[in-house]
Structure 1
């Protein structure tokens, strides 16, 4: 009985510590969602904050693969096939990596998921890559913000941080 009680106390203690670690993250978990008819998209990411730092070219180096957020790599879940930048992406779960540069970003859709950061990124699992232009903003986004700007079957996944934005075009099927 004593062993059982010790195990239970230890388990509760470890679980509470893990729960506290998740709730005390400096980069909170965030979601972007969209629905069109019976198709649903959900993007799960962690929101790092600018906190007075120089972001692109410094904290997030140019020309290097980035998890597109903090903590776990950014994931996209699709319940139906969509077109993303006019390329077919089948229903499933994927990771969105990016390679930021000053004038354009390379968006990488990768079939691996459940990754922490981009440390175990495997380019052999890329579904496809494409480039999108960078837009300079007149406002500063303190936290990294991902939104889905939807207009019926057409939408843009917007990734905004600091004074920079990219738009990833998507199209839902009827």
Structure 2
């Protein structure tokens, strides 16, 4: 009887340790294959922050293959990319109010569309592989011209400069002007 109680206690302790370890591991986003990153800077008087998960090329063809052309993409990995501004800004001649937005992109061979969507906090894609973007919550969309980057970028990154932001990945860069 006493051995049975000790065995049950041992099993309960082991099960609780296992659950705690699994729960903790799920919360450690930095150990993901596409870890979280943040780009921030000032454009005019506005503080801009872009929070995204940064996948790697890993020898793959990125644009037109892993990230298909003419299909909505979450502009990063894992959760949808977040674009935040503390002041209203003008992008592509259109006003974007201060706030937090999910940032999506539709890559194209010669032109990209960036979409600012008011719904935040969602996982970037559904089980079908389509994005989780709800078109009824799109606030603004702008086009931008991709170019060949000066150097190869193994990991996706965003840069915020005084003139806007740039998405850089693989051999591609896509600047978006902000005023």
Matching residue of 1:125? 137
Provide the residue aligned with 1:17 in structure 2: 25
- Alignment partner of 1:169 is 2:177: yes
- Determine the C-alpha separation between the residues in 2 that align with 1:108 and 1:8: 44
Distance across 2 between alignment mates of 1:128 and 1:38 = 20
C-alpha displacement of 1:10: 7.5
Alpha-carbon RMSD:
2.2
Tell me the equivalent position of 2:86.
79
Q: Secondary structure of 2:87's partner?
A: coil
1:140 is the counterpart of 2:156:
no
Give 1:77 shift. Answer: 1.3
Q: CA deviation at 1:11?
A: 6.9
TM-score, structure 1 as length reference: 0.84
Match of 1:97 among 79, 104, 113: 104
Partner of 1:39: 46
Deviation at 1:158, TM superposition (A): 0.3
CA distance in structure 2 between the aligned counterparts of 1:106 and 1:67, rounded to whole angstroms: 12
Partner of 2:27, secondary structure, is helix
Q: Following TM superposition, by how much is the alpha carbon of 1:8 offset from its aligned partner in structure 2, in angstroms?
A: 7.7
Gaps of 5+ in 2: 1-8, 127-131
Question: How far is the alpha carbon of 1:9 from its aligned partner?
Answer: 5.8
Distance 2:114 2:106 in 1: 7
Distance 1:17 1:166 in 2: 34
SS in 2 for 1:56: coil
Distance 1:85 1:17, change over 3 A: same
Q: How many pairs does the alignment contain?
A: 163
Among candidates 51, 59, 71, match of residue 64 of structure 1: 71
